[in-house]
Amino acid sequence: MSKKVLVLLPDGVSLRNFAYTSFYKKGLEKGHEVLFWNHTPFDLEELGFNQVVFKKEKPHWLTDVLKTACIRIELNLFSKRDQDEVYQSYKFPLPSGSLKARLKKALIKWFCYRYGSESGLLTIRKRMIAQERKTAYYRSCKEMLEREQPDILFCASQRSVIAISPLTAAQDLGIPTTSYIFSWDNVPKATTVVTSDHYFVWSDHMKKELLHYQRYIQPEQIIITGTPQFEPHFQKEALLNKEAFYKEHTLDLTKKYICFSGDDITTSPKDELYLRDIASAVRTLNGKGHALGLIFRRCPVDFSTRYDAVINEFQDVIVVLPPLWNKIGDGWNTILPTREDIHLQINLIAHTEFVINLASSMVFDYVTAGKACAYMNYNYLNDKEEAQKGVYLYDFVHFRSMPSPEAVIWLDHPNIIASSIEKMLQGVPNTVAAAHDWFAVINKQPAIEAPNRIWNGIEKLVRRTQ
């Protein structure tokens, strides 16, 4: 059953799941023609992939306004349904600088007021699609689809307005469409922007979320596949031995290394102080006879200088291994992952003892190697920059999927970091086991089978529409 599968990449971060895994190769092995519809700045022909590139037409100017209004209406409805104010913390501040920004803000507020109900939400979604049908962008998408005649359109992310016109054009032509839910935290945040015939999700847990939050979606529209992003962790051919990895990055073979993975400035505005606290604890432990180092991997979209002073102060402790992402433009979605960075991350996990961070999904990357994660659980959000227990991020809905709080080591104050590191160095099997349980909740196991399950789902949908 050879079919033509058109894979829409609406943003650069989708490359990790569908260009840098075995997804493309497995599609070819199954006898299908796989064509990427590429909206990223990266030329997929460099990887030997077939692609068509988007023209420069843009979505309708009102679509982004409607999208923002839709998200805010959904979050208000989620709060009302669940009697839970946590959804309000997912809202980003509305634009307010220039006259254009203030007008946009006023429009968003009006749409939220006028359509702030369950039925109004559906009206907003229909209007987004109607606006897109009026654009040259929609017409060019339709022309491309008529020319290529795919058997199915697979959208690699559900959250981009760029994807609305291609999906709408495909549906208008009778081409079945499906969208992939990109991240484990996306559904409660009301980022299901596009409307497609079917949705591929990570787990049964995510399916239940999608049905709970998006009331217009039916169970038969959802296929559970897992995510391809963890597949590279199981491909041992990419691993360097310890000596080679240490030599490549000028590491000290007499030391054991810990990883601190940084967050973006919005998520963790005082992240450099966490780095300082961990480095100080490592220095203290080395003074007691340990031989430890701290590898700092910054967030790939953070190019700030906020860590520089700490790195300079702790040169005896900190080794910086920056992510190997390419910054092609100014927007976050033009900072692109690379295959080289995936290899770096795999080897970083293999050759460090464990990871410390603030509320990061790196807990799942490390548990694929049977290693633990520690979460920072204090903040510096007061004027005096004194450590205060508690981090509001852990109130977010996606952390409620954690079956047991033992899935991570909680660092409640700087003065317990050193003792917690010593404990983790001795081994924390209960923590690793609980983290495995959490991983199984949020992502269908075995994780390495996700690309196969996605292709099985695609084939099932194509057969169903014949």
Q: Give the tens place of pLDDT for each residue, 215-229.
A: 999 999 999 999 999
pLDDT of residue 11: 87
Last residue of a domain, one of 94, 129, 164: 129
Q: Which amino acid is at 244?
A: A
What are the C-alpha distances in Å from 233 to residues 132, 229, 304, 347, 430?
A: 40, 9, 29, 9, 22
In the numeric block, the tokens 């054991």 are attached to 256
Last residue of a domain, one of 129, 153, 173: 129
C-alpha atoms less than 13 angstroms from C-alpha of 147 in its C-beta half-sphere: 9
**Distance from C-alpha of 97 to C-alpha of 86, rounded to nearest angstrom:** 27
In the numeric block, the tokens 């307005």 are attached to 161
Task: Decide the pairing of beta strands 335-336 and 326-327.
Answer: antiparallel
Write out the two tokens for 138. 């929609």
Alpha-carbon dihedral sign for residues 261, 264, 268, 271: positive
Q: Residue 359: which region, alpha, beta or left (left: phi > 0; alpha: psi -120 to 50)? A: left
pLDDT of residue 371: 98
Residues 279 and 348 in one domain: yes
Residues 32 and 166 in one domain: yes
pLDDT of residue 55: 81
Under the banding of pLDDT at 50, 70 and 90, the label for residue 241 is: very high
Q: Which residues sit opposite 8 in a β-bridge? A: 37, 155
Q: For the residues 312-317, what does the mean pLDDT come to? A: 98
The answer to whether 227 and 449 are in contact (CB under 8 A) is: no
Residues 54 and 66 in one domain: no
Residues 207 and 91 in one domain: no
Concatenated DSSP letters of 302-360: ---STTHHHHHHTTTTEEE-----EE-SSSGGGEE--HHHHHHHHHHHHTSS-EEESS-
Q: What is the biggest distance separating any 2 CA atoms in the chain, rounded to whole angstroms?
A: 70
Domains contained in the chain, number: 3
Radius of gyration, CA atoms only, the chain: 23
Give the three-class secondary structure for 40. coil
Give the three-class secondary structure for 199. strand
Under the banding of pLDDT at 50, 70 and 90, the label for residue 334 is: low
Looking up residue 153, the CATH number of its domain turns out to be 3.40.50.2000
Question: Residue 93 is part of which domain span?
Answer: 61-129
Residues 156 and 214 in one domain: yes
Residues 209 and 83 in one domain: no
Residues 347 and 217 in one domain: no
Task: Decide the pairing of beta strands 4-9 and 152-155.
Answer: parallel
Residues 460 and 321 in one domain: no
pLDDT of residue 332: 56
The packing angle between helices 118-132 and 164-172, to 10°, is 80
Q: Which amino acid is at 98?
A: S
C-alpha atoms less than 13 angstroms from C-alpha of 266 in its C-beta half-sphere: 7
**Distance from C-alpha of 139 to C-alpha of 132, rounded to nearest angstrom:** 9
Residues 286 and 406 in one domain: yes
Give the three-class secondary structure for 180. strand
The predicted-structure confidence for 64-93, as pLDDT tens digits, reads as follows 999 999 999 999 999 999 999 999 999 999
The predicted-structure confidence for 96-105, as pLDDT tens digits, reads as follows 889 999 999 9
Instruction: State yes or no: pLDDT of 152 exceeds 80.
Output: yes
Instruction: Residue 129: name the closest of 187, 222, 63 by CA.
Output: 63
Residues 284 and 368 in one domain: yes
The answer to whether 251 and 319 are in contact (CB under 8 A) is: yes
DSSP state of 19: T
C-alpha atoms less than 13 angstroms from C-alpha of 237 in its C-beta half-sphere: 1
Under the banding of pLDDT at 50, 70 and 90, the label for residue 2 is: confident
Instruction: State yes or no: pLDDT of 157 exceeds 80.
Output: yes
344: which residues sit within 8 A by CB, 6+ positions away?
Answer: 321, 323, 324
pLDDT of residue 57: 81
Q: How distant is the alpha carbon of residue 88 from its chain centre?
A: 20
In the numeric block, the tokens 């600088």 are attached to 97
402: which residues sit within 8 A by CB, 6+ positions away?
Answer: 438, 441
Task: Decide the pairing of beta strands 335-336 and 222-224.
Answer: unpaired
Residues 222 and 250 in one domain: no
What is the value of pTM for the model shown? 0.95
Average pLDDT value for the chain:
95
Instruction: Residue 64: name the closest of 104, 24, 100, 36 by CA.
Output: 104
Residues 295 and 370 in one domain: yes
In the numeric block, the tokens 């795919």 are attached to 150
pLDDT of residue 131: 95
Query: Which element (helix H / strand E) includes 38?
Result: strand 33-38
**Distance from C-alpha of 18 to C-alpha of 255, rounded to nearest angstrom:** 36
Under the banding of pLDDT at 50, 70 and 90, the label for residue 314 is: very high
Last residue of a domain, one of 114, 129, 144: 129
Cβ atoms within 10 Å, residue 398: 21
